[in-house]
Amino acid sequence: MTTETNPQATAPAGNGKRKRALKILLLVVVLAGAAWLAWYLLYARWHQATDDAYAQGNVVSVVPQTMGTVVGIEVDDGDRVEAGDVLVRLDPNDAQVAYDQAVANLATTVRQVRGYFSSADAAQAELRARQVAVEQARADVKRRQGLVASGAISREELAHAQDVLAAAEAALGSAQGNLQRSRALVDATTVQEQPQVQAAASQLRQAWLELQRTAIVAPVSGYVARRQVQLGERVQPGATLMTVVPLEQMWVEANFKETQLARMRIGQPVEVEADLYGGSVRYQGKVAALGLGTGSAFSLLPAQNASGNWIKIVQRVPVRIELDAQQLAEHPLRLGLSMHVDVDVSDDSGQVLAQSREAAGPRFATAVYRQQLDEANALITKIIEQNLPRARG
């Protein structure tokens, strides 16, 4: 017996399955669209993200301030140094000789200036003696003039007394000149403030600094990177020997498309992830500054779009992101690491450009060189005191 299949019976079954599949697909599309719309309305439109972001930081160059030959290298790449630590030593012999000469010159100058003060005192005493001599000579002349009229003495004796008076007056004029010259060197001043002492002190200060600069110190605390100096090398002022990177002063430079900046403001919260740690570490930060130009505008060769085959390219603007200092200490970054940045732009009431900054001192500064000058001034004071007259017991 032969069984025949009825086409009309199988057709409704196949159409039912197809309709069911289409309905399921339509439902999936609708749900996906609704999920995307909800994600956009609740999250995406309030956030701007980019992977074109990199960790940045201060790279402090270590440079010599004087010329010399390298005789010692105290650190290597990766070492932790504190501000003021010696990194490189130069041959100090020439600087030591110049320093010794400056010390002797200051001591000699102080003693010479002491002589100027003594000369002024002596000139003052001589002037008083000459004034007394003039008064005596005038009295003698006046007395003899009366005696000549009475014939008690001769006119020759009167002339002799007048010559004595003229000589005394001339000596008085010379003493006045000597006093003025002596006072010109010491008037309105002390030994410490006398110009010649100040000049000798400046020479000693310079020699001291040159001697101290043979020990090249770290300007800031951080980690040594890119050591280039070698033993025996003759270095020149301004040549970079190595760099010091303070990892606690890191930030992120994120390059956003210009179409993403419409609602971006200074102070908006930011969530940052580093490829180094992955999603296990998320840094909390804030927008510190919006760039004042695109990357191409500040490039060495800015783009020139005056040709007829110009093609519009979406530009990117650098945005500086400040990170939480405590998180940086717990999870340190490195220069140039790739970062993912997500900015919450829901609150766009902030400023686009930074306001005028109050004069609260420099953002970054070092005091290690000021300490050298303080030591030089203390040394100068000590040398001057050692060469001043001592009280006798």
* Of 87-101, 241-255, 375-389, the least confident: 375-389
What whole-number distance in Å separates Cα of residue 376 and Cα of residue 202? 10
Cα–Cα distance list, 118 to 124, 177, 201 (Å): 10, 16, 21
Residues 124 and 101 in one domain: yes
Helix axes 93-150, 195-212, angle to 10 degrees: 170
Of 132, 122, 129, 134, which Cα lies nearest the Cα of 167? 134
Q: Decide if 263 is inside a domain.
A: yes
* Cα angle 185, 190, 192; round to 5: 105
Q: For residues 319 and 253, is the Cβ–Cβ distance under 8 A?
A: yes
In this structure, the answer to whether residues 159 and 196 fall within a common structural domain is yes
Is residue 287 within 8 A of residue 270, CB to CB? The reply is yes
pLDDT of the residue at 7: 55
- Average pLDDT (163-168) is 78
Flag the least confident range among 55-59, 181-185, 332-336.
181-185
- Residue in 344, 321, 341, 188 with CA at minimum distance from that of residue 275: 341
Domain membership flag for residue 360: no
Q: What is the pLDDT of residue 1?
A: 45
Q: Report the predicted TM-score, pTM, of the whole model to 2 decimal places.
A: 0.73
Contact 345, 46 (CB under 8 A): yes
What mean pLDDT comes out for the span 90-103? 95
DSSP 88: E
Same-domain check for residues 263 and 376 = no
Q: Examine residue 131 and state whether it is found in any structural domain, yes or no.
A: yes
More confident residue, 2 or 241: 241
Assigned domain for 17 exists: no
Q: Name the average pLDDT for the chain.
A: 84
Clarify whether residues 200 and 224 are in a common domain.
no
Above 90 in pLDDT, residue 39?
no
Is a pLDDT exceeding 90 seen at residue 16? no
More confident residue, 80 or 294: 80
Check pLDDT > 90 for residue 222: yes
Question: pLDDT at residue 192 above 50?
Answer: yes
- Answer yes or no: is pLDDT of 97 > 60: yes
DSSP, residue by residue, 307-366: STT------EEEEEEEE-HHHHHHS---TT-EEEEEEE-S---S-SSPPPPP----SS--
Is 146 part of any domain?
Answer: yes
Q: Is the pLDDT assigned to residue 380 strictly greater than 70?
A: yes
3-class DSSP state of 255: strand
How far is 254 from 53, CA to CA, in rounded Å?
4
Q: Are residues 206 and 120 in the same domain?
A: yes
Q: Which of the four pLDDT bands, split at 50, 70 and 90, describes residue 319?
A: very high
Is 3 a residue whose pLDDT tops 60?
no
CB atoms within 10 A of CB 379: 17
Q: What is the CATH number of the domain that holds 76?
A: 2.40.30.170
Task: Say how many domains are in the chain.
Answer: 2
- List Cα–Cα distances, 48 to 45, 70, 269, 341, in angstroms: 8, 51, 11, 8
Is residue 317 over pLDDT 80?
yes
Mean pLDDT score, 194-221: 92
The single-letter DSSP state of residue 283 is E
Which of 35-39, 52-56, 357-361 is most confident?
52-56
Q: Are residues 325 and 180 in the same domain?
A: no
What average pLDDT does the segment 181-202 reach? 80
230 and 344 within one domain = yes
**pLDDT at residue 275, rounded to an integer:** 93
| Distance, C-alpha 336 to centroid of its chain | 24
How large is the C-alpha radius of gyration of the chain?
44
Residue 144 shares a structural domain with residue 223: no
What is the structure's pLDDT at 57? 93
Q: Is residue 324 part of a domain?
A: yes
Residue 1 resides in a domain: no
Q: What is the mean pLDDT of residues 328-348?
A: 92
Residue 217 has pLDDT above 90, yes or no: yes
- State the chain's maximal CA–CA distance in angstroms: 197
pLDDT tens profile 238-279: 999 999 999 999 999 999 999 899 889 999 999 999 999 988
Domain that includes residue 320, residue range: 50-83+219-298+313-351
Residues 164 and 180 in one domain: yes
The partner residues of 224 in beta bridges, in order of sequence, read 244
List the structure tokens of 104: 């002797």
**Residue 6 pLDDT grade (very low, low, confident, very high; cuts 50, 70, 90):** low
Residues 103 and 138 in one domain: yes
Residue 12 maps to a domain: no
Distance (Å, rounded) from C-alpha 325 to C-alpha 381?
43
In a shared domain, residues 67 and 107: no
Does one domain contain both 60 and 156?
Answer: no
| Percent residues over pLDDT 90 in the chain | 44
